[in-house]
Amino acid sequence: MKIQSLSYLLVETTNLQEWVDYAKDVVGLMKNDSLSNEHNLYLRMDERSFRFHITTGDSQKYLAAGFSLSDKAAFDDAKSELDQANIDYEDLGDEIAKLRCVEECIGLNDPAGNRLELSYGSKNSSEPFLSTQDIKGFITKGLGFGHVVFAAPDLEPAHRFYIDILGFGDSDYMNFPMGPAPDAPEVKLNFMHCDNPRHHTVALYESPIPPSGLIHTMVEVNDIDEVGYGLDRAMQNNTHISSSLGRHSNDMMVSFYMQTPAGFDLEFGYDGWQVDWDNFEMQKSKIPSFWGHAFSPPEN
């Protein structure tokens, strides 16, 4: 199976206005007015009809991540591979495909229960992308939306699923102690890429699934100033800063992390490594960052 990229993120909220304000005032995403209504907020990052779909419901949480395949043939091949591996999936039908602005899509869970969707034929908007915050554009061309980091209480079965079933490749096995104590438990993360140069499109973090359903997602902008202005906007709007500015050691991303209204974090960065996979040696990182990235979870 050849998954091209992360395509979209689905999120549930009890308060759509929080997301309207967060997207506009902090992140700089563009609302798709023709798709949005009082219960649905479709947010754009580029030429695509949407990259975030926020829908009203009973909770504040991640619902699913959408991944794209190149065309119908690749999509049908993916379904055959799932059939052969006895992996359950659900054909989501024409109505959902229309809501996702794709030709066809299926839904499935990874072994940790993280919800995924696979689709092809994503539609573009007829309107040009214009950020609400003067961002020149998010870095998505040939790379997809960004990345997602899922929790997996049992890391290895989930890891095998992405590698053996979904066709991802290993980018980095990261292990580091959770604090300075000599007997501190180890933090374990596996980073994986799909069929584009982004260093990782999915990472798995060995931990229980958090109440928000997702550890974090990442969007990428063009330069350090756009990251800096983003940090200013987050602070001006009293958004919780979950991590200070830092540079990651594996994908080289310079970023900070902030809490979204759903409780999971959004990494906002630039300078992510675009890897030539033919000349790449899998990493085994012992530190998450060269500098910075001091994490501070919210107090409530």
Q: Min. distance of Cβ 60 from Fe ion in angstroms?
A: 21
* Dihedral angle computed from the Cα positions of residues 122, 127, 131 and 137, in that order, rounded to the nearest 10 degrees: 60
Residue 19 or 191 with smaller CB distance to Fe ion: 191
Q: Are 148 and 158 in contact (CB under 8 A)?
A: no
Concatenated DSSP letters of 223-256: SHHHHHHHHHHHHHTT--EEEEEEEESSS--EEE
Residue 73 or 287 with smaller CB distance to Fe ion: 287
Q: Min. distance of Cβ 216 from Fe ion in angstroms?
A: 6
**Pattern 210-249, binding to Fe ion, x per CB under 5 A?**
--------x-------------------------------
Calpha distance 284→300 (Å, rounded): 34
**Pattern 1-40, binding to Fe ion, x per CB under 5 A?**
----------------------------------------
Using the contact rule CB under 5 A, the part of the chain among 24-32, 158-166, 174-182, 259-267 near Fe ion is 259-267
Calpha distance 140→92 (Å, rounded): 26
Q: Min. distance of Cβ 150 from Fe ion in angstroms?
A: 11
Using the contact rule CB under 5 A, the part of the chain among 7-15, 45-53, 261-269, 270-278 near Fe ion is 261-269
Tokens 């020149």, residue located? 136
Tokens 């490749």, residue located? 169
Residue from 253, 238, 219, 256 nearest 52 by CA: 219
Residue from 121, 119, 68, 110 nearest 85 by CA: 110
Q: Is residue 7 classed exposed, middle or buried when 0-12, 13-18 and 19+ CB atoms within 10 A define those classes?
A: buried
Sheet containing 104-109: which strands, arranged edge to edge?
30-31, 40-44, 52-56, 5-13, 61-69, 115-120, 104-109, 90-91
Residue 172 or 267 with smaller CB distance to Fe ion: 267
Looking at residues 112 to 141 of the shown chain, list those that interact with Fe ion (rule: CB under 5 A).
none
Q: Min. distance of Cβ 112 from Fe ion in angstroms?
A: 18
Q: Min. distance of Cβ 288 from Fe ion in angstroms?
A: 9
* Identified binder of Fe ion from the candidate list 12, 117, 267, 271, rule CB under 5 A: 267
Residue 42 or 150 with smaller CB distance to Fe ion: 150
Residue 92 or 215 with smaller CB distance to Fe ion: 215
Three-state DSSP at 22 gives helix
Using the contact rule CB under 5 A, the part of the chain among 43-51, 112-120, 223-231, 267-275 near Fe ion is 267-275
Q: Min. distance of Cβ 244 from Fe ion in angstroms?
A: 14
Q: Min. distance of Cβ 113 from Fe ion in angstroms?
A: 21
Using the contact rule CB under 5 A, the part of the chain among 96-104, 121-129, 265-273, 284-292 near Fe ion is 265-273
Three-state DSSP at 161 gives helix
Residue from 6, 142, 122 nearest 67 by CA: 6
Q: Are 242 and 297 in contact (CB under 8 A)?
A: yes
Residues in the interface with Fe ion (CB under 5 A) total 2
Count Cβ atoms below 10 Å from residue 256 Cβ, excluding itself. 22
Residue 123 or 188 with smaller CB distance to Fe ion: 188
Binding site for Fe ion (CB under 5 A): 218, 267
